[in-house]
Amino acid sequence: MEMDKFTKEMVSGVQDVRNISTQIVDIIEKVQSLTPRFQMVSEGMEAQSETAGQISESMSQLSQASGETTSSVRELKGVIERLNGAAISLQKATHGLK
């Protein structure tokens, strides 16, 4: 009787070990199948980071160009105001010649 009980427990224990081993193999296979996906995600993140750096550089260049354009517009405004003043002076000077 004791021997039968021991044998049943051994058979049950061996079956449990087989089941657990099968589950562990499944888990290992699933984890290994994730490695390429993680690699793809990593590569995608690197590409996004590189693109973000390029966008940042472009924004910096755009900001600099905008500042230069603003400065040029101010200078142009001053030139136009001086030309307008000169045109008014010429009109006044030629008005008396008519």
Domain count, the chain: 1
In a domain, 82, yes or no: no
Per-residue pLDDT tens listing for the chain (98 residues): 788 888 888 999 999 999 999 999 999 999 999 999 999 999 999 999 999 999 999 999 999 999 999 999 999 999 999 999 999 999 988 887 76
Is 50 domain-assigned?
Answer: yes
Instruction: Give the global pTM.
Output: 0.56
Residue 76 lies in a domain: no
Does 48 map to a domain? yes
Please report, in angstroms and rounded to a whole number, the separation of the first and last CA atoms in the chain: 139
14/78 Cα distance (integer angstroms): 95
Domain that residue 55 falls in: 1-70
With respect to residue 83, please indicate whether it lies within any of the assigned structural domains.
no
Position 38 in a domain: yes
Coil, helix or strand for 93?
Answer: helix
